[in-house]
Amino acid sequence: MGIYQVTQENGERWSVARAYVHPHMDNRTNLRVETLAHATRILFEGKRAVGVEYRQGNETKQLRARREVILASGAFQSPQLLMLSGVGDTTALAKHGIASVHHLPGVGQNLKDHPDFVFASRRTRRISPACRSLASRGSSKGLRNIGVSGADR
């Protein structure tokens, strides 16, 4: 048992989009959000990423970046998207008919999943002062996982 980071606000699970994208959708002219879209590959000119290709409905579309491409598709889709775009082990890519843009053998290797489960129980006594002290030193976001609530402080 231990404390670990979670993306929460006031005890409620928050997605990355809700925490970092949604607050800027109305006031950033350089931010464009496409919904119901699935990235299929990164577009390259030489070894420079210049855009992204994606499927939206039955259409394949492309977006070109003015300055930079940021890949933030998570632990599974980021390496998958890199490999589909030709970044990875050249031999492995060739077996799937993907032309190599950049030989980088580590892409998609050593991927580890971090399974998680939530175990809940009802306390019959108050939390010890030592546990309350530990909780008070950490962030209020996520500490609810060890059972500290306002009534116990």
122 pLDDT exceeds 80?
Answer: no
5 sits in the region (left: phi over 0; alpha: psi -120 to 50; else beta) called beta
What is the band of 140 on the pLDDT scale with cuts at 50, 70, 90? very low
Backbone angles phi, psi at 64, to 5 degrees: -105, 135
Contact 135, 150 (CB under 8 A): no
Which domains are seen in the chain, by residue range? 10-109 (3.50.50.60), 117-153 (no CATH)
pLDDT score for 44: 97
Mean pLDDT confidence for 34-55: 95
**Is the model more confident about 25 or about 132?**
25
Share above pLDDT 90 across residues of the chain, in percent, rounded to a whole number:
43
Lowest mean pLDDT among 63-67, 98-102, 107-111, 133-137: 133-137
Length of the chain: 153
pLDDT tens-digit map of 67-100: 999 888 888 899 999 999 999 999 999 999 999 9
48 pLDDT exceeds 90?
Answer: yes
pTM: 0.65
pLDDT score for 96: 96
